[in-house]
Amino acid sequence: MGEYEIKYRLMNEHDIEDVLRIEKSSFATPWTYEAFYNEVVHNQFARYLLIIKGEEVIGYCGLWIVFDDASVTNVAILPKERGNRYGEMLMHQAMEFARAVGGLRLSLEVRTSNHIAQNLYRKLGFESGGIRKNYYADNQEDALVMWVNL
């Protein structure tokens, strides 16, 4: 991780291009500029947390927080920065943020084939809560629902 300072902050509309760069390099069916704009500007339940290394946005985690229930909408780390624990660091921050704003539970969906992410979530205390059949539009892969009490 070296000499770079790691910071976290909430995303605003000026960060969308940086987040899109990560999104497009991470997912087969990336969200659009408009989708992120609507999340950041119009969705009162959405909060997106950024992880910044030096001056570069290297990851993000989207949360929807409705009363005491929080859910992760999407999370990604820039491919060149994966394997350096930034995903784990970001998820810790997201969990703390959700707890700080009144969240009692945090849930997410993860591809059944994504064992690396599942292992991380289990390490953070998430438990398996069921399967959503044909959840992913790009290939109809099932999603494993995971949750943790905050």
Question: Using alpha carbons only, how large is the chain's radius of gyration in Å?
Answer: 15
Annotated catalytic residue, options 23, 48, 60, 109: 109
Strand-pair partners of 53 = 6, 56
Please indicate whether residue 141 is annotated as part of the active site: no
54 pLDDT band, cuts 50/70/90, is very high
Residue 3's pLDDT is: 73
Please indicate whether residue 33 is annotated as part of the active site: no
25 pLDDT band, cuts 50/70/90, is very high
Q: Which strands sit side by side in the sheet containing 6-10, from one edge to the other?
A: 6-10, 46-53, 56-66, 69-77, 105-111, 143-149, 127-132
Residue 145's pLDDT is: 98
Taking each helix axis as running N to C, give the angle between helix 86-100 and helix 115-123, from 0 to 180 degrees, rounded to the nearest 10: 50
Annotated catalytic residue, options 121, 135, 136, 141: 121
The residue ranges of every structural domain in the chain are 6-149
Q: Which CATH number fits domain 6-149: 2.170.260.10, 3.40.1160.10, 3.40.630.30, 3.40.718.10?
A: 3.40.630.30
For 71-126, write each residue's pLDDT tens digit: 999 999 999 999 999 999 999 999 999 999 999 999 999 999 999 999 999 999 99
